[in-house]
Amino acid sequence: MNLKKIDVNINGKDYCLEVEENLRLIDLLRDKLHLTGTKEGCGEGECGACTVIMDGEIVNSCLVLAFQADKCRIITIEGIEDEIIKNSFIEEGAVQCGFCTPGMVLAAKSLLDKNLNPNEEEIREAISGNLCRCTGYNKIVSAIKKAASIKRGGDSE
Amino acid sequence: MKKRGKGIACIFYGTGYGNGFPDVSRAYARLLKDGKVEISVGATEVGQGAKTVMVQIAAETLGLSDKDIVLINEDTSKTPDAGTAAASRQTYNTGNAVKIACENLREKILDEAVKLLGVNTKVGLHIKDGLIHVKSYPSRNVSLKEIAENNKELKAEGIFTAQTTQMDENGQGAPYWPYTFASCAVEVEVDTETGEVKILRAKHVLDVGRAVNPTLVEGQIDGGFAMGVGYALMEDIGLKEGRMTNGSFEKSIIPTSLDIPEIEKVLIEYP
Ligand code: FES
Ligand code: FES
């Protein structure tokens, strides 16, 4: 297998790595770097459990090859320092089994980084690529509303 | 054309194994040297909130704050059998075992307090915020920490067996003891050409007995509602010669955030 050299910044840390051509980004994160917060649900781009932020946009890391991350900035759940989003998820009861949670938090972050005043529809749209089998989504939506409102300067709703 | 319609459904649901099946939960409680109370509970946390609820029940039973409860959970070398996290039974069944264990521990703690407080009976003793008071004379008190320091080890067990009855040979009877009654109403819009159904509004009312943690109960309603929507409108397992024909999320569709409306939730707490 051919190896490719990549320079990638993951959660603020620079890595210079040699990766197999067919290595997926999710395997680089989980198996090589032991950043196991990123979950694999379907492995085919349908569930969003493997969501990471790549240069500001959310991607399914099961559909990205590791070498495609060359010269990119990646944020995984381990690199999220945003206490407001995390606390809102906890306070609203937006986490049940937790398998979708890393992806949901990253999708929420990517939305709120661009839009601090999203309406209900925009929030639902933003997480529509992330499947959750437990919560029925409503408490995740309220957690994101709450985080947005706190970020805008209010206390909560 | 788009048409609108409303639907309502009511159910009752039995909690626990039912049908005469042994349904036993156990828990331990132990006073620690620093005055905190450790509970050992085998109830598995699968996201329903077992860890939160068991700590709440212990704290309330003992008059402590949740910070004073140390939870040992899901460790088969330390926790007694609490049965499965299934049949919606952990909060009710193992929760009762935790309550009994803590009540038993409370009695042992009060027996020791009697000696230290110079009273002749534990009647009239009250635990609040880690202190045991004489109710009518609150300045006479002793802390759980002092009790712990004065004793080798205070611990207790709680066992709760849910009462269940076997059904008769025709499958008739009342196989469960606690039942949950629920009703759900929705308003939908149907596209008569494509058959697509959009849920516009939903309301869910549940008679839950006592909601130990209303936020968690609501989370279960939201999640259950979304699964129900999936079963009714999209989910289907295709089988051909014993093999699944739609074994991927691309073909086996489950609801996304766009398929679920906000749900008005009402909890009826009628013990
Ligand atoms: S694991 Fe990548 S989308 Fe499901
Ligand atoms: S919390 Fe279980 S899948 Fe979302």
- Domain with residue A143: its CATH number is 1.10.150.120
Nearest residue, CB atoms, B219 vs list A46, A96, A124 = A96
The verdict on residue B218 lying in a domain is: yes
Write down which residue in B161, B184, B205 finishes a domain.
B161
Q: State in Å: Cα B260 to ligand 2 middle.
A: 15
Confidence label for A155 from pLDDT (cuts 50, 70 and 90): low
Best residue among A39, A132, A141 to mutate for probing ligand 2, ranked by most atoms within 8 Å of CB: A132
Identity of the amino acid at A55: D
Nearest CA in chain A to B219: A135
Interface of B with A in 26-85 (CB under 8 A): 46-49
In 3D, which of A157, A156, A147 has the Cα closest to residue A127? A147
The domain in which residue B223 lies consists of 2-13+176-269
Tell me the ipTM for this assembly.
0.93
Same domain? For A71 and A22 the reply is yes
Within a domain: residue A115? yes
A74 with A88, same domain?
no
Q: DSSP secondary structure string, B250-271?
A: TTS----TTT---EEEEEE---
- Across B74-98, average pLDDT: 95
pLDDT at B151: 87
Strand residue runs (E) in chain B: 2-14, 24-31, 37-41, 69-73, 125-128, 131-134, 137-143, 155-161, 179-191, 197-207, 239-240, 243-244, 263-268
The strand pair at A51-54 and A73-75 is best described as: antiparallel
Task: Chain B: give the shortest CA distance to residue A116, in Å.
Answer: 19
Subunit contact B222:A139, Cβ cutoff 8 A: yes
> Does residue A12 surpass a pLDDT of 60?
yes
Do A118 and A73 belong together in one domain?
no
Average pLDDT of the segment spanning A83-94: 97
Shared domain for A44 and A66, answered yes or no, is: yes
CATH code, domain with B221:
3.30.365.10
Question: What residues make up the domain containing A64?
Answer: 3-78
Cross-chain residue pair B223–A47, CB shorter than 8 Å: no
Q: Are residues B27 and B83 in the same domain?
A: yes
DSSP run (H or E) holding A128: none
Q: Do residue B235 and residue B127 come from a single domain?
A: no
Q: Shortest Cα distance from B229 to chain A (angstroms)?
A: 10
Number of domains within chain B? 2
How buried is B252 (Cβ within 10 angstroms: 0-12 exposed, 13-18 middle, 19+ buried)?
middle
Q: Cα–Cα distance between A125 and A123 in angstroms, integer?
A: 5
State whether A136 and A85 are in the same domain. yes
Number of domains in chain A: 2
Domain termination site, one of B118, B135, B161: B161
Give A90's contacts in chain B (Cβ within 8 Å).
none
B170 inside domain = no
- Whether B169 maps to a domain, the answer reads no
Q: Is residue B229 part of a domain?
A: yes
Question: Is there a domain that residue B251 lies in?
Answer: yes
The verdict on A101 and A135 lying in the same domain is yes
Q: Which residues from chain B sit within 8 angstroms of residue A107, using beta carbons? A: none
Q: Which of B46, B257, B259, B263 to mutate to test the interface with A (most CBs of A within 10 A)?
A: B257
> In chain A, pLDDT over 90 holds for what percent of residues?
95
Q: Are residues A89 and A144 in the same domain?
A: yes
Which range, A133-137, B118-122, B169-173, B244-248, is most confident? A133-137
- Whether B27 and B148 map to the same domain: the answer is yes
Angstroms from B30 CA to nearest CA on chain A: 29
A10 & A70 share domain: yes
Q: Which of B119, B136, B161 is the last residue of a domain?
A: B161
Q: What's the A116 CA to ligand 1 centre distance in angstroms?
A: 27
Supply the pLDDT for residue A27.
Answer: 98
In a shared domain, residues A38 and A69? yes
Q: Are residues B197 and B157 in the same domain?
A: no
The answer to whether B254 contacts A136, with C-beta atoms less than 8 Å apart, is no
Q: Are residues A94 and A138 part of one domain?
A: yes
Residue B46 with chain A: CB contacts under 8 Å? 97
From the centroid of its chain, how far is CA A153?
A: 24
Domain boundary among A27, A43, A78: A78
pLDDT at A156 over 80: no
Q: Does residue A157 form part of some domain?
A: no
Q: Are strands B37-41 and B24-31 parallel, antiparallel or unpaired?
A: antiparallel
pLDDT in tens, A66-85: 999 999 999 999 999 989 99
Count of C-beta atoms within a 10 Å radius of residue B244: 12
Q: Is the Cα dihedral B226, B230, B231, B233 positive or negative?
A: positive
Check CB contact under 8 Å for B48 and A138: no
Three-class DSSP category at B70: strand
pLDDT category of residue A64 using cuts at 50, 70 and 90: very high
- The response to whether residue A116 sits with its C-beta less than 6 Å from ligand 2 reads no
Q: pLDDT (tens digit, 9 = 90+) per residue, B186-237?
A: 999 999 999 999 999 999 999 999 999 999 999 999 999 999 999 999 999 9
> Are A67 and A110 contained in the same domain?
no
Question: Does residue A13 lie in a domain region?
Answer: yes
- How many beta carbons lie within 10 A of that of residue B153, not counting itself? 9
- Domain closes at, from A28, A54, A78: A78
A98/B226 Cβ within 8 A: no
Q: What confidence score (pLDDT) does residue A154 get?
A: 72
Same structural domain, B195 and B121: no
Same domain, B102 and B190: no
Cα B31 to chain centroid, rounded? 24
8 Å CB contact of A131 and B249: yes
Domain-embedded: residue B25 = yes
